[in-house]
């Protein structure tokens, strides 16, 4: 089930070739397609994505919530993952491989997110010490 805010962001993403002015996302957003870890139902989550070479980095910050977002559990539970991403010729849907970053890779990726938005540092104040998981997703085609 998609909440109203996510539905608005998804609609704007698809209507504007991947550019979302809501919440200042710009073209730094992807739509993550997974299957629900428990339900097996298709899920779509709009997520901030930081480019890292040919890959994107995703962070499970949940806006600083102490709880890990559901999409993280879904991502860990399935290998059937696709993204819709903005490209030079409009939105493209591609299958991706997923790798959760190891502790020795985490700091460098965390620095990319905090440079992108200081809000990530603020999120650590409300997350009750939760370390946000970071994933690298890479197109497989």
pLDDT tens-digit map of 84-101 = 999 888 999 999 999 999
pLDDT tens-digit map of 48-72 = 999 999 999 999 999 999 999 999 9
Neighbouring C-beta atoms of residue 120, cutoff 10 Å:
20
Q: What is the pTM of this model?
A: 0.93
3-state SS track over 85-137: EEECCEEEEEEEEEEECCHHHHHHHHHHHHHHCCHHHHHHHHCCCCCCCEEEE
Distance, CA of 88 to CA of 38 (rounded, Å): 36
| Structural domain 4-139, CATH architecture | Roll (2.30)
Distance, CA of 49 to CA of 26 (rounded, Å): 11
Question: Domain extents for the chain?
Answer: 4-139
């Amino acid at each position: 089930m998609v909440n109203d805010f996510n539905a608005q962001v998804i609609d704007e993403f698809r209507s504007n070739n991947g550019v979302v002015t809501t919440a200042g996302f710009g073209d730094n957003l992807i739509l993550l397609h997974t299957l629900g870890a428990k339900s097996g139902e298709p899920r779509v989550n709009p997520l901030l994505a930081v480019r890292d070479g040919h890959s994107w980095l995703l962070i499970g910050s949940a806006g600083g919530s102490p709880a890990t977002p559901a999409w993280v559990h879904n991502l860990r539970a399935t290998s059937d993952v696709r993204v819709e991403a903005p490209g030079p010729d409009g939105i493209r849907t591609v299958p991706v491989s997923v790798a959760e970053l190891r502790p020795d890779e985490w700091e460098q990726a965390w620095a990319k997110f905090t440079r992108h938005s200081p809000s990530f540092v603020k999120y650590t104040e409300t997350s009750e010490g939760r370390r946000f998981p970071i994933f690298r997703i890479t197109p497989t085609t």
